[in-house]
Amino acid sequence: MSTLTTKKAYKLEGELTLPGDKSISHRAIIFSALSSGKCEIHNLCSGEDAARTLEIFRQMGIKTEAGGLHNLTVTGRGLHGLQEPSTVLYTGNSGTTTRLMTGLLSPQRFFTVLSGDASLNHRPMKRVVGPLRQMGACIHGRREGDYAPLAITGSHLKGIDYTLPVASAQIKSCLILAGLYADGVTRITEPALSRDHTERMLEHLGVPITRESTTAALAAAAEIRPERYDIPGDISSAAFFMVAALLVPGSEILIKGIGVNPTRTGVIDILQAMGGTIELQNIRTVCGEPVADIFVRSSRLKGITINGPIIPRAIDEIPVVAIAAACAEGTTIINDAKELRVKESDRIATTACELQKCGVTVQEQPDGMIITGTEHLAGASCKSHGDHRIAMALAVAGLVAQSPISIEDCDCINTSFPEFMTKLTELAG
């Protein structure tokens, strides 16, 4: 899949199910490994990022057994049962793996080194290293710990009160994992509520954690019980199909069993505000997470302003929202999204660059962009910039462009969604 080409589609229809949520998959692996017995994980994300997290635990003595496609049994060794690995722990392109594991490894009784690929090793890590050091962690890395590789010497930690400079589930979850081992209470406050999968999973497992507004607090845990995890489909993956179905005339699709955690449904709210027909059906709760089937019908979209508290709830979906904006009537303004600049690519710069190649008028802003919609999206030769979400967003654009869109360097799609093109082809018939 090094180069991917998509062309105009004439209708998308049918039902589809998607692999498990990547964020929840990371956490299910972590808490299974820390549990006191055997755990079953069903519908595990098939992407490389979750596989990196799983392999790291295998390197620390955790036994796993495949139970069919996307299903896994993990035999936990308890909160204090991990073993010192003999080699560097490789996190690939996964910022979630790197940041969450930094928090978990800081209180362990051994030495570890975390390192990723060239892109990952240039993503900022001081945002987790700084507060962990305040807790007593001993972490060394390039540029005073701002870049991996990170060398971690296990230390005795103490709880702290910490206010995050930005809403970030990765930072929050990193500190929660460290807090499971720390003396006293660890209290984390965000400027706005980021995705709360870690807190929900701990509540589901019976681990004491309190939540009030945007503050989460916990003390050291005594035990994590074994559990079965049924992971809902990933809403970030569903977003590509939602936008595709909205844009391709005559389309109707039903995406079944998708996680609709309120901290993640910003993309649905945005697309509905743009005039999109999106309905949640069969809403239920699975393992502490709200789940629904999502019905989408093609719609005429209009430009809107996207900013404020909705941004953290849709931060990963902004590239494909930009495709919707490029095809909408009028102008879409995206602000308060500076966090996009420190993702797998600078997603403000890369999204603007690639949309401009397709004939779209885009003004790049320090914290977002201004997109003027067009009825005639042009075909083009584009680049993924090594970013899976940019690659998949451009593939969606190709479904409504006047001529095919080709995207170079699309192997990055495998980090989150190897089945992407198979699923898209199924809908296009």
Q: For residue 347, give both structure tokens.
A: 């997603």
Structural domains in the chain, CATH included, are 3-20+232-428 (3.65.10.10), 22-219 (3.65.10.10)
Could you tell me which of 87, 68, 82, 172 has the C-alpha nearest to residue 127?
172
Residue 1's pLDDT is what?
Answer: 55
pTM of this structure: 0.93
Q: For residue 136, give both structure tokens.
A: 């007593």
Residue 205's pLDDT is what?
Answer: 96
Distance of alpha carbon 369 from alpha carbon 372, whole angstroms: 10
Q: Determine if the peptide bond prior to 149 is cis (ω within 30°).
A: yes
Q: For residue 390, give both structure tokens.
A: 């940019």
DSSP symbols for 39-108: EEEES---SHHHHHHHHHHHHTT-EEEE-STT-EEEE---TT-----SS-EE-TT-HHHHHHHHHHHTTS
Sole residue written with tokens 């027909």 = 277
Q: For residue 208, give both structure tokens.
A: 């004491």
Tens digit of pLDDT at every position of the chain (429 positions): 589 999 999 999 999 999 999 999 999 999 999 999 999 999 999 899 999 999 999 999 999 999 777 899 999 999 999 999 999 999 999 999 999 999 999 999 999 999 999 999 999 999 999 999 999 999 999 999 999 999 999 999 999 999 999 999 999 999 999 999 999 999 999 999 999 999 999 999 999 999 999 999 999 999 999 999 999 999 999 999 999 999 999 999 999 999 999 999 999 999 999 999 999 999 999 999 999 999 999 999 999 999 999 999 999 999 999 999 999 999 999 999 999 999 999 999 999 999 999 999 999 999 999 999 999 999 999 999 999 999 999 999 999 999 999 999 999 999 999 999 999 999 987
Residue 17's pLDDT is what?
Answer: 96
State how far the alpha carbon of 336 is from the alpha carbons of 128, 215, 349, 365, 408, in Å.
21, 21, 15, 10, 29
Q: Compute the Cα dihedral for 382, 388, 393, 396 and give only its sign.
A: positive
Q: For residue 150, give both structure tokens.
A: 């990170």
> Vertex 59, ends 410 and 64: CA angle to 5°?
85
* Residue 411 falls in the annotated catalytic set: no
Active-site annotation holder among 49, 196, 293, 316: 316
Q: For residue 166, give both structure tokens.
A: 């930005």
The 10 Å Cβ neighbour count of residue 404 is 13
Give the type of residue at 207.
V
Distance of alpha carbon 246 from alpha carbon 272, whole angstroms: 10
Residue 279's pLDDT is what?
Answer: 98
Residue 99's pLDDT is what?
Answer: 98
With left for phi above 0 and alpha for psi between -120 and 50, is residue 249 left, alpha or beta?
beta
CA atoms within 13 A on the CB side of 326: 31
